[in-house]
Structure 1
């Protein structure tokens, strides 16, 4: 499996606008539209890295309303918003080429987000190269691949992608992957974008060579959705909820300091590792979730990579 652990955001439960207001190391902006909260963060330097737990770069997170994946109108709105967010990370035109990589195992439903996104993209590099007269000048050059996972191919994903980059010479690489959620509440409810690439397998302690600008030589944008959660995280979140309800009249800072400390996860891991430490959990409706989420991600990517085409035009090409 290729799950990457979702980006750290230890302060996500607090008012980040107040926390980072005037901070010289981190820029933070948050907007809300159609009940979708969009957070944008720029980590400027090493001090910002230490404060937030993220590498220097740009990050955006879309927090979706619950059951979005059953609402077709909402899915269209999110596709447009996601496409606009992605445009802030890339600047495409008809002379540029983008390579989209769908990470994950297509045989495992919650890990199949990347491959499913690839199947819904408007790929055009072959048309622009071999049949330029059949496609308008407004269309950008896009190619895509689902490289599979090491257990299926016997080849490291980084080796496959690096070979492609050397051959295709794209201006951008976009990697799409399933994530392992850090909190149960984030499961299937966030779309995360980052300019620092992606680490396949990190979410299940299966570290692989990262896919980023340092390893590939071109800008790499990582896109992910938390589709699974570690059983230990479920236990940890349950304990948090129980303690807060039992101690609801006690000062929140006191609870954090004395009960929800940094050693909590390690204590849980030691006590439960024999029975559920390696268990990865996903919702029962994961099939519907992955199908809907992959459509939103794919359309958002199509919108960003073909900025001269609107959603109606794109639907004509890919349906």
Structure 2
């Protein structure tokens, strides 16, 4: 929480800190820059020490936020640029020499704003079993396994515990966790993506902190990918709406489109597939 507001987005947290502190200079322990990648706006925030981590309420690491184009559903011309740019950002976070990955599709598939991970999983090409069995044609692919841990209320098991067990069994080079996020900018809900190499604490943006998924807890690097889908209603109505969260009316289509962008971008980043390849393999 920064300046009394909850956000999982590092660039928003930095803006909130600067606004509350009246600062015109860079926050100590935080390096930020803006760039244009594939014709889309990207903000990179790197938290370099504990002072920066404390100020922004985020773990040290690199955070990249991508503002998606106005239209990014599968039929839009901009879909390819959204996927390609996101894949490039994911590639920046993949550990050198990695050849296997475990995807953790987080969240509750029965609640639309929280269904991002589950929906993205449907567009990701799983290959671990094919490579293990020696199936021809998959020699150049990553070994990719995927799990949908669900939520504590329906499984009775912490997400981090499930993923930790799988990491010990499968020994992936790293983990990619996909989850819905909370933000503070209503205009960005469903329309921005954050990629980070700092792991993730599921539910932290809505005050439901669960055990983190990180190198420290899992023993391997953790890349997180998320889209903000909810905003604290207290931003609009003060204390009267504190603890309530709102989401756009069009959240169903936004989450589905965003999940497909993420799924395709993961395939492009780890398997080095084209969009046409992905269409043919996972549709």
TM-score under structure 1 normalisation? 0.78
C-alpha deviation, 1:100, in angstroms: 0.5
The aligned counterpart of 1:111 is: 114
Q: Deviations over 1:271-297 (max 9, x none)?
A: x1xxx3332211111111111001100
What's the Cα RMSD here?
2.4
C-alpha deviation, 1:53, in angstroms: 4.4
| Partner SS state of residue 150, structure 2 | coil
The aligned counterpart of 2:3 is: none
Q: Structure 2, unaligned stretches of length 5 or more?
A: 1-5
Which of the residues 40, 43, 47 maps onto 1:39? 43
1:158-197 counterparts in 2 under 5 A?
158-197=160-199
Q: Deviations over 1:16-53 (max 9, x none)?
A: xx844xx8844333112465211122222234334554
| d(CA) in 2 for partners of 1:152, 1:163 | 18
1:247-286 counterparts in 2 under 5 A?
268-269=238-239, 272=240, 276-286=241-251
| d(CA) in 2 for partners of 1:190, 1:26 | 21
C-alpha deviation, 1:6, in angstroms: 1.2
| d(CA) in 2 for partners of 1:314, 1:124 | 13
1:121-200 counterparts in 2 under 5 A?
121-130=124-133, 132-200=134-202
| Partner SS state of residue 88, structure 1 | helix
1:276-315 counterparts in 2 under 5 A?
276-307=241-272, 309-315=273-279
| d(CA) in 1 for partners of 2:38, 2:215 | 34
Greater helix share, 1 or 2?
A: 1
| d(CA) in 2 for partners of 1:311, 1:67 | 17
C-alpha deviation, 1:72, in angstroms: 1.6
Are the equivalent residues in 2 in contact too, given 1:178–1:225 (CA < 8 A)?
yes
> How many residues were matched structurally?
272
The aligned counterpart of 1:211 is: 213
| d(CA) in 1 for partners of 2:74, 2:102 | 30
| d(CA) in 2 for partners of 1:165, 1:122 | 19
> Structure 1 residues 230 and 50, CA, compared in 2 at 3 Å: closer, same or farther?
closer
Are the equivalent residues in 1 in contact too, given 2:63–2:194 (CA < 8 A)?
yes
Greater Rg by CA? 1
TM-score under structure 2 normalisation? 0.87
> Structure 1 residues 135 and 5, CA, compared in 2 at 3 Å: closer, same or farther?
farther
The aligned counterpart of 1:316 is: 280
> Structure 1 residues 228 and 70, CA, compared in 2 at 3 Å: closer, same or farther?
farther
Q: Structure 1, unaligned stretches of length 5 or more?
A: 236-267
The aligned counterpart of 2:80 is: 76
Are the equivalent residues in 1 in contact too, given 2:38–2:85 (CA < 8 A)?
no
C-alpha deviation, 1:69, in angstroms: 4.0
